[in-house]
Chains A and B, each alone.
Chain A
Amino acid sequence: MTNSKATRVTMTETPKRNAEPVHAPAFFAQIMQWFEQLPHCKLLGIKHLSSSAGSVTLELPFSDAIIGNPQTRVLHGGVVTTLIDTASGSAIYTLLSAPEAVATLDLRIDYLRPAKPDAPVYCTAECYRMTEHIAFTRATAFQDDVSKPVAYAVGTFARTPLGKEGA
């Protein structure tokens, strides 16, 4: 269990925060590269855009394959779920400095407006509270205007030291 920097950080637990760099930049870069190479993330083309301590922004490029309604061409909610899950999970690693497993416990997503076709979807996720065993996240998915989110989500993740997954 790595509870060094992760649990010592002063979490604001409120949305406003001063952006500090991720705790272990080299480690985080490695983790993000690993995330982008995961088969399903690679299939969707999910890319890391920016990050700071406790926060990550990812991009999901548009493709016809992620459409959910063939007539309106609006994106499928399921692909937004995947973007939010990936962004929320990776936000946790901005506060870590050594590998560990995080597993999604639950995710609650409000679909605020349809995700339009022919444009990317972005997701900014925050890990706003971290305890020894649990990470709490919130995320906003948006397109051209961050003040008009496509979806808002909260989640919890279980932290597991490496080698003890599934225990």
Chain B
Amino acid sequence: MSCPDLNVDSIADLQAVLARIPYAGLIGAEVREHDGEPLFVLPYRASNIGNVLLPALHGGVIGGFLENAAICHLMWAHEASVLPKVVDFSIDYLRSGRPQDVYASCEIVRQGKRIANVLLTAWQDDRSKPIAAARAHFLLA
């Protein structure tokens, strides 16, 4: 995808990107600024529940939220106008996702010419108690 009006120069621009990604809207992913970096937020909604007994968020939603966070973070870091493509995604589920907001941050571990390696962390009320950690490779167009 490349459209000139989609250039991401700031975290505010990322909100416009998110608004154009239908799946991001389906799960309700948002972005805000924290210490000059994007902080991704997944406000709680009942339709993201994947276990009604615990209850807990669907693991796939947490994975999708992190993958989407990586896409947006890479666009922000590169002031890109093209969505990066996921090559592989590996996620460790550390705690069950309780029915409340989820936060995520993304760290670019290694950035090559075409491929980026990223590290993702998801947490709820306590950042020192992550609910999931993921690593992924993306192809930058």
Chain A residues within CB distance 8 Å of chain B: 38-43, 64-72, 75-79, 81-86, 101, 103-111, 114, 165-166
Beta-carbon contact of B60 and A78 below 8 Å: yes
Closest to A109 in B: B89
Distance from B120 Cβ to chain A, minimum over Cβ atoms (Å): 12
Verify if B51 is at the interface (C-beta below 8 Å from A). Answer: yes
Q: Which label, helix, strand, loop or mixed, suits the secondary structure of the B interface?
A: mixed
Chain B residues within CB distance 8 Å of chain A: 1-3, 20-27, 46-54, 57-61, 63-65, 67-68, 71, 83, 85-93, 96
Beta-carbon contact of A105 and B93 below 8 Å: yes
Beta-carbon contact of B50 and A41 below 8 Å: yes
Beta-carbon contact of B90 and A108 below 8 Å: yes
Residues of B within 8 A of A82 (CB): 58-61, 63-64
Beta-carbon contact of A79 and B64 below 8 Å: yes
Knowing A39-B47, A64-B22, A107-B59 are in contact, say whether A77-B93 is a contact too (CB < 8 A).
no
Distance from B133 Cβ to chain A, minimum over Cβ atoms (Å): 10
Distance from B137 Cβ to chain A, minimum over Cβ atoms (Å): 9
Knowing A76-B68, A77-B86 are in contact, say whether A40-B91 is a contact too (CB < 8 A).
no
Q: Which 3 pairs show the lowest CB-CB distances between chains A and B? A: A78-B64, A82-B60, A76-B23
Residues of A within 8 A of B67 (CB): 76-78, 81
Residues of A within 8 A of B49 (CB): 38-40
Cα–Cα, bound, A86→B53 (Å): 16
